[in-house]
Amino acid sequence: MEQTVASPHVLLFPFPGQGNMNSMLNLAEFLCNAGLHITFLNSNHNQQRLLRFTNAQERFSRWPKFRFQTIPDGLPADHPRSAATFFEILDSMKATAKPLFREMMIMASRKESGLWPPLSCFIIDGLMPFAIDVAEELSIRVIVYRAISACCLWTFFCLPGLFAAAELPFQGGDVEDDMDVTIKNVPGMQGFLRRRDLPSFFQTKDPTDPIFQQIGVECQKMTQAYGLIINTFEDLESPVLTQFRSQVPNLYTVGPLHALTLRRQHSSSSMTSNIAVSNSLWDEDRSCITWLDSQPPKSVVYMSFGSLVVYDKDTLMEFWHGLVNSGKLFLWVVRQDSINISGGEGTSFLAEVVDGAKERGSLVVGWAPQEEVLSHPALGVFLTHSGWNSTMEGIYAGVPMICWPFFADQQINSRFVSEVWKVGVALDKCDRWTIERVVKDVMEQKREVLVESIDGLAKLARRCISEGGSSRSNLDRLIQDLRSVRESVYDTSTSTLVG
Ligand code: UDP
């Protein structure tokens, strides 16, 4: 048998969402920098948008061992790909991408032409267990990546206990009235976790809801994999992470990934410093940075609900009146596809909101360079949907938050922000009076206390990503583990990896 040592070649396969892709691209930069061969598998749809709105191709071209590849997500071009259709994206990926992925990976696990060695390890978004099955079938080491908080992931592992104790599915006549009941069977969260804070997927009365099975499979895959990468940092979620390690001992907590990337870019002499970094799937309206430059320090409310949330006109109008009545300046991201317009309603109200904001010295944009916005000195508060990337970005920037969670892990993230870390306030109602009151509170009376807490967390985040910090060390350990697969040898007679 003629054998050659194969050099490590890692496949990164994010679930096709902005936050999932964004943070995995940040991880990819590190792995490229460590000299690994990287194939980044994007959905066709996201890749087209990424190339259209960013310089990602140019940015990554400095690493000859990096390449993008694409796979269809199976959805029509005009599909909304929003929170409301989240399960359609999951199902479509499974139906369309799974067979194609398997075929691609069988080819790629054989010797490739030119510079590309066979794949030695997969890093797969845990939302796609089907891809992990393929890795197992090909006996390729697989590490799972999750783009959500550890506190949310931990509740996934507690599902059997919640069922056994009859805390799930929700019992009782009018569950809606009972959402403040506290949950007792999520170890480490007794006392502050309520029904309403559980991940939105749990909030059903139907024990046969397929989501419970999906989450069961996701947990099983996390425990079977070689390890699990989470975009969080030890000092932020330490009690939950201690619990978590009882189920998944090999955890790589490497967050905040966006901050690690920024730091590396600033310190790297090999970088051409004039290359801006963006992983956006929408066109960033940079006029908001110029606008922020002319606002007083700490004066602006920044409001954005991420890439998936969709809300209706009534909700939009409540936020509008609440913001205007607060008398504060605001920068509001209203994604073109984020407002659910019912039949015959027309869209003229959107133009009125944009113009009305301008008349009041504020600004509405379609998509913003969020990390840059959050680190701007004019920022006073971040009104957010509590998506995990946004939460990490808000913490790192040291900007107090007002939380209005919609789905998935956002509910529990919001609870941790307001009750555990005490770096923000959760909106308990979405009406103009509540919004006005909470915005004023956070910008005025509560500001000092919240800023002190969030500055403390931001410092801890900086420590974790600096040399010798936990996230840096975990990243180095990850790179070492990815390199160790290099010990596998390539059998040139059978074109397979052995050992
Ligand atoms: N984002 C952005 N510009 C915007 C709004 C959001 O760049 O105007 C980015 C934000 O910085 C974050 C991602 O989009 O990295 C959203 O991810 P998150 O997990 O917060 O929410 P999701 O979109 O998954 O609901």
Give yes or no for residue 241 having a pLDDT over 70: yes
- What pLDDT shows up at residue 178? 87
Which residues, 6 or more positions from 136, have their beta carbon under 8 angstroms from its beta carbon? 142, 224
Distance 316 CA to ligand 1 centre (A): 18
Backbone phi, psi, residue 181, to 5°: -55, 135
* The one-letter amino acid at 374: L
Question: By the 8 A CB rule, do 206 and 169 touch?
Answer: yes
Over residues 2-47, the pLDDT tens digits come to: 445 567 999 999 999 999 999 999 999 999 999 999 999 999 999 9
Question: By the 8 A CB rule, do 330 and 301 touch?
Answer: yes
| Range name among 4-8, 150-154, 222-226, 377-381 with the lowest pLDDT average | 4-8
Question: By the 8 A CB rule, do 497 and 109 touch?
Answer: yes
Query: What pLDDT band is residue 491 in, cutting at 50, 70 and 90?
Result: very low
Q: What share of the chain is helix, strand, coil (3-state, %, to 5)?
A: 45, 15, 40
* The one-letter amino acid at 318: E
- What pLDDT shows up at residue 205? 83
Give yes or no for residue 298 having a pLDDT over 80: yes
- What pLDDT shows up at residue 183? 96
- What pLDDT shows up at residue 85? 85
- What pLDDT shows up at residue 2? 47
- Mutation to probe ligand 1, out of 307, 365, 393 (largest number of atoms < 8 A from CB): 307
pTM: 0.94
- Shortest-distance Cα residue to atom 5 of ligand 1: 306
Query: What pLDDT band is residue 276 in, cutting at 50, 70 and 90?
Result: low
Give yes or no for residue 449 having a pLDDT over 70: yes
Distance 369 CA to ligand 1 centre (A): 9
**Ligand 1 atom with least separation from CA of 83:** 25
Query: What pLDDT band is residue 173 in, cutting at 50, 70 and 90?
Result: low
Query: What pLDDT band is residue 150 in, cutting at 50, 70 and 90?
Result: very high
Mean per-residue pLDDT, 123-137: 93
- What pLDDT shows up at residue 272? 46
- What pLDDT shows up at residue 249? 96
Pairing of strands 401-403, 300-304: unpaired
Distance of CA 421 to the CA centre of its chain: 19
The counts of H helices and E strands in the chain are 20, 18
Tokens 């360079």 correspond to what residue?
Answer: 369
Over residues 53-87, the pLDDT tens digits come to: 999 999 999 999 999 999 999 999 988 888 888 88
3-154+204-272+467-497 and 287-460 have identical folds: yes
- What pLDDT shows up at residue 174? 60
Nearest alpha-carbon partner for 461 in 399, 375, 396: 396
Q: Which fold has domain 3-154+204-272+467-497?
A: Rossmann fold (3.40.50)
**Ligand 1 atom with least separation from CA of 309:** 25
According to DSSP H, which parts of 170-256 are helical?
Answer: 210-224, 234-244
Q: What is the DSSP letter of 230?
A: E
Written as six digits, the tokens of 32 are: 């490229």
Question: By the 8 A CB rule, do 330 and 323 touch?
Answer: yes
| Helix 447-465 × helix 257-267 angle, to 10° | 60
pLDDT > 90 fraction of the chain, expressed in percent and rounded? 77
- With a 6 Å cutoff on the Cβ, whether 295 touches ligand 1 is no
CATH of domain 287-460: 3.40.50.2000
Over residues 335-358, the pLDDT tens digits come to: 988 888 776 677 788 999 999 999
Q: What is the DSSP letter of 183?
A: P
Give yes or no for residue 94 having a pLDDT over 50: yes
Distance 409 CA to ligand 1 centre (A): 14
**What does the mean pLDDT of the chain come to?**
91
Query: What pLDDT band is residue 499 in, cutting at 50, 70 and 90?
Result: very low
Mean per-residue pLDDT, 450-475: 97
- What pLDDT shows up at residue 237? 98
Cα–Cα distance measured from residue 30 to residue 26, given in angstroms and rounded to the nearest whole number:
7
Distance 146 CA to ligand 1 centre (A): 15
Query: What pLDDT band is residue 492 in, cutting at 50, 70 and 90?
Result: very low
- Shortest-distance Cα residue to atom 21 of ligand 1: 387
* Residue extents of the structural domains in the chain: 3-154+204-272+467-497, 287-460
Cα–Cα distance measured from residue 130 to residue 112, given in angstroms and rounded to the nearest whole number:
24
pLDDT > 70 fraction of the chain, expressed in percent and rounded? 91
- What pLDDT shows up at residue 83? 81
**Ligand 1 atom with least separation from CA of 279:** 7
